[in-house]
């Protein structure tokens, strides 16, 4: 199990606290420092069953500068979104937990973190 975190994020800290309380074994990835490649983002999207725009923090300053709210959300634009996430990792929703069964969840709630633990 791996968890992508931003240590400044309260949701990330809550997820880590819950994982520790449950005795889970996991690896922490500070994704702002250890930036995921486009291939890693594609892999996580497949595991999540989501599209890149589904895990994009559109209220971030970088998103506003890029004009992401205006970008198309379709198959033709998918790679453009993935490139933006790789080049601006602050835009990636957090925390993302990759589960033991090959799936992943965006662990913004205790329920989602517990879901990842049960997989």
Catalytic residue among 1, 2, 9, 50: 9
Structure tokens at 66: 């890029």
Strands 27-30 and 2-5: parallel
* CA separation for the pair 60, 68 (Å, rounded): 10
CA–CA distance, 107 with 95 (Å, rounded to integer): 5
Pair of tokens at residue 79 = 């790679």
Q: Residue 9 catalytic?
A: yes
Using the structure block, give the residue that is written with the tokens 């925390």. Answer: 95
Tokens for 28, please give them: 């922490």
Q: What are phi and psi of 40, to 5 degrees?
A: -65, -40
What residues are labeled active site?
9
């Amino acid at each position: 199990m791996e968890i992508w975190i931003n240590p400044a994020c309260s949701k990330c800290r809550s997820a880590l606290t819950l994982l520790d309380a449950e005795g889970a074994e996991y690896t922490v990835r500070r994704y702002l420092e250890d930036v995921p490649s486009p291939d890693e983002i594609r892999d996580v999207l497949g595991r999540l069953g989501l599209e890149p725009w589904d895990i994009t923090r559109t209220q971030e300053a970088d998103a506003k500068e890029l004009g992401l709210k205006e970008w198309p959300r379709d198959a033709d634009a998918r790679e453009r979104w993935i490139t933006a996430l790789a080049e601006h990792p602050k835009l990636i929703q957090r925390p993302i937990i990759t589960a033991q069964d090959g799936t992943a969840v965006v662990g913004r709630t205790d329920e989602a973190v517990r879901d990842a633990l049960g997989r």
